[in-house]
Amino acid sequence: MNFTKVLVANRGEIAWRVMRTARNMGYRTVAVYSDADRDAPHVAFADEAVRIGPPPVGESYLSIDRILEAAHRSGADAIHPGYGFLSENAEFAAACTTAGLVFIGPPSAAIAAMGNKAAAKRRMIDAGVPCVPGYQGADQSAAGLEMAARAIGLPVMVKAAAGGGGRGMRLVERDGDLGEAIRTARTEAESAFGSGELILEKAVVDARHVEIQVFADNHGNVIHLGERDCSVQRRHQKVIEEAPSPAVDADLRARMGAAAVAAARAIGYRGAGTVEFLLGADGAFYFLEMNTRLQVEHPVTEAITGLDLVEWQLRVARGETLPLTQEQVRFHGHAIEVRLYAEDAYASFLPQTGRIGAWRPAGGPGVRTDHGMKEGLAISPFYDPMIAKVIAHGATREEARARLVKALRETVVLGPTTNRHFLIRLLTHPEFAAGKATTAFLTKHAFAAPEIADAHWQAAAALLWRRSAERFPAALRGWRNSNPEPTPIKLAVGATERTIAVDPANMTDAAPPFHIDGHDIVVDLDAHTVRFTDRTYAPPASAAAGGDGKLRAPMDGRIVSIKVAAGEKVSRGQTLIVLEAMKIQHQLKASADADVESVAVREGQQVSNRTVLVTMKT
C-alpha cells in the first residue's frame, strides 16, 4: 500500500501536527480549508492547499464528497483524518477505499463496530471485556428509557449512542430529572451526530477515567502503549490528561492493557486506537467506549514512550509490522497535558470567540505546545474553541507538573477570554498535586472567579495613558502650565467601573503583556488575563452593564429553542433561550424577575454575538 502524498482531512493543530511527521518521512502534504481557515498556519505549512467550502462543517470538513474531490484535484493518494470530524466515520473510510485512496486509520468495519455505543457494548460483553451495567436496548421511547434507568438504579448516565466528547451526555441523580435529561440529551445528540439513539449506564461514583492506547497492524500484531489518566473533566470533556496514571500500578496496567488488546482484536482493528475505561476506587474497571482514531491527548503517550504515534500510523497504513513488540515497550518519566481553550471557565465554561491579538507559546526543557494558532487568527463559532495543547514531561510527576505550571505562566495569549488561569489553579490544587483527582474533582471543588487586583486596574490605566500620550510630541506629553496632576482614566469590567488616577511621574518602564482591541485593553498580570473597557470619554454605562432589560447572545450561535413569549412573566434563573454554539447547547436565563416585552429571534436562526434576543421590563 504505497502512497506519496497525504491529504489531512482536518484543521488546526492536529492537521499541522500530522503534516510535520508526514513531511519528515518524505511525504508531500495537502491541507484542506474552509473560508474561515483560509489564513490558518496549517494551510500555509502544507505543500498544497484546497478550499472545500464555507465555514459550516456540513459544507466543508464533514462533506465526504468535498474531501474526496480535494484529494482528486491535488493528486493525493492517502488521507489522514486527524481526530473529530470524519475520523470515526465508517462511511468516509469506506469511500476512501472505494476511491482508491489509502485511509490512514482502521478498517471501516472496525469503525462501524465501535461507532455506536450500544452495539459496541454488546460486542465487548461477548468478547469478555468488563462493561458498566446499563441499557443499550431497542426501545428508545422516553418511557422505556425512564423505566430502564429506574431498573439500573440512580445515579445513571444518559449518553448518545452515536457520539462522544461529552455531547449528548447527562448525569441523572434524581428521578424527577430523568425526563428532561433524556429529552435534552436526545436533542443535543441529534444535532451533533445526526442520531438521537441513547444508552444508559450506571454512574460509577468518584471513579477515574483511564484509557489505554492500542496499536495494531495488518499482520495480526496488537499491543498497548500504556494508559492515560483523563479524570479531570468539565461537561464530560477532558481538561487535563497524564501518563502514566497515578492510580495504576504494573499489575493493573497489564490487566487493563490485556482487556484493551482483546477489545481491539474482537473487531479486527488496525492502526491507533484508544479503549476507555472507568476505574473504580476498588480497582475494578469497566469498558466505556473505543475511540477508533488518534486522540487529542496522544502527546503524553509519545512523551513517556519516546515514540511518534503518527509515524506509526503511516507505517502501519503502508503495510509494515509494528516497530515494537509488547515486551519491548518502555516507559520513561511522567507527562501531563492541558487543553488551552477560548472559554470563560468562571462563567460555566462559556466558549469565546474573537481574534487572537497576541500569541507567544511557551517553550523550555520538557515543554511541548501543539497548536494551529497565530496572531490575528480568529477563534470561530463554527469549530471547537481549543487554542492549543500544552504538554510537559519530566523524570517524575512532580517535575512534569511544575514544568507545566511554569509553561502556562509564560504562555501569552490575548484576545478572547481563555481558561489559562483556571488550568494553573487546577494543576496547583493540593488534590491534583497529590495525584488524587477523580472524575468528581470539578464538582467537589468550587473555583470562583478571582478578584481583579488593584495592580491590574493600575496597569490597564497606565497602559491606556501611554497609548494616549504616544499621539502627542514627546515635548508636550504631560505638559501643564502649573504643577503636573494625575490623569483620570475610567475603566469598566462588566458592570464594575473604577476611575484610576495615573501619575506619569510614578510610572515604571516595565509593562505586562497587553493587547488593544478597539475601546478594550486586555492585560495579563500574574497569569490572570482581564479585559478592561476604556470609558473615560463614554456616557454612563447602564446599557453596557446590561441594565437595559435586554438578553443578548453571549456568542455567535444558532437558536435551538425559545422558552418564552411576549407578555409572559419570568423568574430569575428561568431559561429563556437555548443557544447552540461550538456543538454545545447553552441555556440563557433571566437575570431577574421580569415581564417579557418581545422576542426578537426565531428557532433555527443563526445569530451573532451581542444580538438582542429578548427584551424584558422589570
The residue with cell 464528497 is 65
User: CA 327, 332, 333, 334 torsion: positive or negative?
Assistant: negative
Contact (Cβ atoms closer than 8 angstroms) between residue 569 and residue 595: yes
Burial 546-584 (b: 16+ CB within 10 A, else e): eeebbbebbbbbbbbbbbbeeeeebeeeeebbbbbbbbb
Question: Half-sphere exposure of 376 toward its Cβ, with a 13 Å CA cutoff?
Answer: 4
CA gap 80, 6 in Å, rounded = 7
Grid coordinates representing 408? 502556562
Q: Judging by DSSP bridges, how do beta strands 28-34 and 48-53 pair with one another?
A: parallel
Burial 151-165 (b: 16+ CB within 10 A, else e): ebeeebbbbbbbbbb
CA gap 159, 116 in Å, rounded = 11
What one-letter code names the amino acid at 89? Answer: N
User: CA 96, 101, 106, 109 torsion: positive or negative?
Assistant: positive
Q: Single out the residue of 304, 215, 305, 313 nearest to residue 18, CA to CA.
A: 313
Rounded alpha-carbon distances, angstroms, from residue 528 to 246, 356, 445, 495, 521 = 29, 16, 20, 19, 14
User: Which residues contact residue 407 at a Cβ distance below 8 angstroms, ignoring those fewer than 6 apart?
Assistant: 362, 363, 364, 367, 369, 390, 392
120: part of which helix (H) or strand (E)? helix 117-126
Angle between helices 397-410 and 420-428 (to 10 degrees): 160
What one-letter code names the amino acid at 478? Answer: G
Burial 281-310 (b: 16+ CB within 10 A, else e): eeeebbbbbbbbbbbbbbbbbbbbbebbbb
Q: Single out the residue of 381, 371, 389, 378 nearest to residue 351, CA to CA.
A: 381
Rounded alpha-carbon distances, angstroms, from residue 141 to 134, 172, 174, 375 = 16, 17, 19, 49
Grid coordinates representing 404? 507545566
Instruction: State the burial class of residue 375 (Cβ atoms within 10 Å of its Cβ: 0-12, 13-18, 19+).
Output: middle
DSSP, collapsed to helix, strand or coil, labels residue 370 as strand
Grid coordinates representing 31? 491541507
Q: Which residues are catalytic?
A: 293
CA gap 155, 252 in Å, rounded = 27
- Beta bridge partners of residue 341, listed in sequence order: 386
DSSP-derived secondary structure letter, 496: E
CA gap 256, 558 in Å, rounded = 42
CA gap 374, 175 in Å, rounded = 48
Cis bond upstream, residue 155 (ω within 30): yes
CA dihedral 81, 85, 86, 89 (to 10 degrees): 130
